[in-house]
Amino acid sequence: MENISNTRKVVIHALLIIGSIVMVGPFLWMVLTSLKTVGEAAQIPPKIFPEVFQWSNYKEVFSSFPFAEFYWNTFFTTVIKTIGQLFLCSLAAYAFARIKFPGRNFFFILYLSVLMIPPQAFLIPQYQIIANLELLNTLTALILPGLFSAFGTFLLRQFFMTMPDELEEAAKIDGCNHFQIYWRIMLPLAKPGLIALAIFTIIWSWNDFLWPLIVNSSPDKMPLSAGLASLQGQYSTNYPVLMAGTFLASWPLIIIFMFFQKAFVEGIALSGRKG
């Protein structure tokens, strides 16, 4: 596609700009609404900009809900789940890709079958396990099942599979055991895969909704997603406050994405190629 004519360029830009407005418009409207008074938000015809920026909507969100705790709960569980998955999945992935042991294929198929199971098929017993361990309304409840991922193991295995045998042979001759090969040689080489998995885990953990809704009903142990649901319960029609809360819940991941967007996009694209 070397030379695109100017008219074609104009058409392409026009289409992309219309598309972009549809994609970004809702976010802009959220931010603008979050700074209005209830009266302004309900005005007909709608006013685009508020007369005075109503920062008090944000104050209201923080004063009526433990939003600082929501942040901490979301942040902490996301970090632990991500580190945990990277370590545990890569260990298993290394074994499936590089170590020969009896039953390897059987276990691998077992992992793959977990990939096919939709979440609702294990949510009830998962809830019971957490309840029986008396872990309801704790951060551990949010973290525990999410530490283990068949998807992550599968994704990283595809990476370890493509690595040359020579590296491993050389390390074995030098007397390295499998853990040393895994830790010193294979992990650094699997960096693109690890980044992709980290991004998936971060997005999924930050945005996870149904599981926290089920296990953590006490506000100080909720993540942002479930917190939004309770905010809606209290301010059912006060849209400026609701939009302030929505903005507060979604900006951190959006900012992280803006900074690391190349890694995000490549990570998602990679899963498509490896999958």
Partner 1 sequence: MDIKKQKSTLRKNDMYWGYLFIAPTLLGLLIFYIFPVFQTFFYSFNDWGDFGSYSWSGLENYEEMFANPEIWDSFRNTLIYAFVMVPISIAISIIVAVLLNQKIKGLTFYRTLFFLPVVTMPAAIGMIWKWLYNADYGIINHILGWFSIPGPDWLTDPNWVLISIIIVGTWGAIGTNMVILLSGLQGIPKSLYEAASLDGAGPTYSFFKITLPLLSPTIFFVAVISFISAFQVFDFIFMMVSPTNPAIDSAQSVIYLFYHYAFVIGEKGIAAAIAFVLFLVILVLTILQFRLQKRWVHYE
Q: Which residues 165-204 are close enough to bind partner 1 by CB under 8 A?
A: 177-179, 182, 203
Task: Report the nearest approach of partner 1 to the CB of residue 195 (Å).
Answer: 15
Count of CB atoms situated within 10 Å of the CB of 145: 18
135, 185, 214, 263: which one binds partner 1 (CB under 8 A) = 214
What gap in Å lies between CA 28 and CA 35, rounded to an integer? 11
Residues of span 215-234 touching partner 1 by CB under 8 A = 224-226, 228-229, 232
* Identity of the residue, 80 or 243, whose beta carbon is nearer to partner 1 in the bound complex: 243
Binding pattern for the stretch 81-120 against partner 1, x by CB under 8 A and - elsewhere? -------xx-xx-xxx--xxxx-x--x--xx-xx-xxxxx
Tell me the longest C-alpha to C-alpha distance in the chain.
Answer: 78
What is the token pair recorded at 218? Answer: 């006490």
Residue 210 binds partner 1, judged by CB under 8 A: yes
Residue 255 class from Cβ within 10 Å (0-12 exposed, 13-18 middle, 19+ buried)? exposed
Tell me how far apart the alpha carbons of residues 35 and 205 are, in angstroms, rounded to a whole number.
29
Nearest distance from residue 214's CB to partner 1, in Å? Answer: 5
The whole-angstrom separation of Cα 272 and Cα 198 is 16
* Spatial separation of the C-alpha atoms in residues 182 and 179, rounded to whole Å: 5
Minimum CB–partner distance for residue 121 and partner 1 (Å): 5
Residues of span 47-86 touching partner 1 by CB under 8 A:
none
Q: How far is CA 88 from CA 69, 84, 100, 144, 194, in A?
A: 28, 6, 19, 13, 12
Binder among 124, 165, 188, 259 for partner 1 (CB under 8 A): 124
Site size for partner 1, by CB under 8 A?
101
State which of residues 68, 83, 129, 167 lies at the interface with partner 1 (CB under 8 A): 129
Of 127, 136, 137, 263, the one binding partner 1 (CB under 8 A) is 127
CA atoms within 13 A on the CB side of 3: 1
* Positions in 22-41 near partner 1 (CB under 8 A): 22-24, 26-27, 29-30, 33, 41
Which one of 163, 195, 213, 263 is in contact with partner 1 (CB under 8 A)?
213
Q: What is the C-alpha separation between 274 and 190, in angstroms, rounded?
A: 13
Structure token digits, residue 249: 């819940």
Least distance in angstroms from the C-beta of 14 to partner 1: 10
